[in-house]
Amino acid sequence: MPFFAIAALAALLALSAQGSEGAFPDSALLSLPLRILNSVRAYGFYLYKMIIPTGLVPYYPLFPDFPMTGALISLLALLAVTALCALAYFKKMRAPLYAGAFYLVTLLPVIGIIQLGGQAAADRYTYIPSMPLFMLAGFGLTRAALWSKAWAAIMIGIFLAVSAALGALTLRQADIWKDSHALWSHEIRRYPIVFAYKNRAAWLHNAGRYEEAIEDYSIVIKNAINEKELSEFYSKRGQAHRKINGHAAAISDLTRSLSINPANAAALNNRGNSFTAIGRYDLAIEDFRRAIRIEPRNAYLYYNLGYAFILMGDKAEGMKQISTASGLGLKEAREFLMRQELTN
């Protein structure tokens, strides 16, 4: 009983934490009957992937309108396997029933009756549940190999063939996981979901492949589910446009982002930098001042504001703002002031 109490407490804490992060999907989109159907389907799905581990992806999306055929096939397969395990049990072979029960019970907490997130399944969930099934398979091969030399040769052949196939699949899968671009591109080929485009766009942006990132951001924006997401990815696409000197497109995207979230200091700063780049110093100064009112301790904002003043011809005000940035600890501002002292 103490262990059950500890497990129950841990489960409640986990549910509370996940709920506070918004991990529970909308019950209107995924009702309890649909979650039960998906759970039944998942049992069969995991068995299939253990036997034929192809088409593995990092994220299996959960579609509320999935056909009932998959759940029905899984249910029939589970009933058939259960019947075979029960038959073996009555013939004094208890290992299959124990292995099957272990598989069913250990998967139960993550099978999806209580749905967290938008995934229908996850390969990692089967690491522990699959162990007795593979042990049972190994035991079966060993027992069969003892029947005769011919059977031993057949079992060795099966073992080598399966090992070679799994080794080849592992090498191919490892290539998919070599970096986030390969991983999420693979996901998109299988399931072109917005979640995958978000992750690939982030990798492309960080890698400096801004044109490709813009394409992925555009897909995310087209499929945005709320205004918060729309504002976020207009801002990110605007940053990518600015990196390739597409300042007109950057200003357009950042303006759209700010129309939804006017208090986004980063978007104001980026738009201000684009205004500076095209010579609209008055508009840049206005954006930097707005951003400073939101984040008064952000040294980069003062530095950018000072630079815009200098370019506009007001060097005194520009040096004042850059001095403020230096006082806030910005290395670039200190170096700028030192260079100015040396040239004067």
Instruction: Output the pTM of the full model.
Output: 0.81
* Integer Cα distance of 209 and 226 in angstroms: 27
Asked which of 155-159, 264-268, 337-341 is least confident by mean pLDDT, the reply is 337-341
113 has a pLDDT exceeding 80: no
> Between the ranges 147-161, 262-276, 328-342, where is the mean pLDDT highest?
262-276
Other C-beta atoms lying within 10 Å of the C-beta of residue 245: 12
252 has a pLDDT exceeding 90: yes
* Integer Cα distance of 269 and 82 in angstroms: 63
- Give DSSP secondary structure letters for 258-315: HHH-TT-HHHHHHHHHHHHHTT-HHHHHHHHHHHHHH-TT-HHHHHHHHHHHHHHT-H
- Average pLDDT for 193-204: 96
Asked which of 114-128, 163-177, 300-314 is least confident by mean pLDDT, the reply is 114-128
How is residue 164 written in tokens? Answer: 């070679």
Greater model confidence, 110 or 193: 193
Q: If pLDDT is split at 50, 70 and 90, which confidence band does 116 have?
A: low
Amino acid 241: pLDDT: 97
| Strand ranges, E, within the chain | 60-61, 119-121
89 has a pLDDT exceeding 60: yes
Amino acid 23: pLDDT: 46
Q: If pLDDT is split at 50, 70 and 90, which confidence band does 344 have?
A: low
* Integer Cα distance of 304 and 3 in angstroms: 59
How is residue 94 written in tokens? Answer: 């208890």
CB 276 within 8 A of CB 304: yes
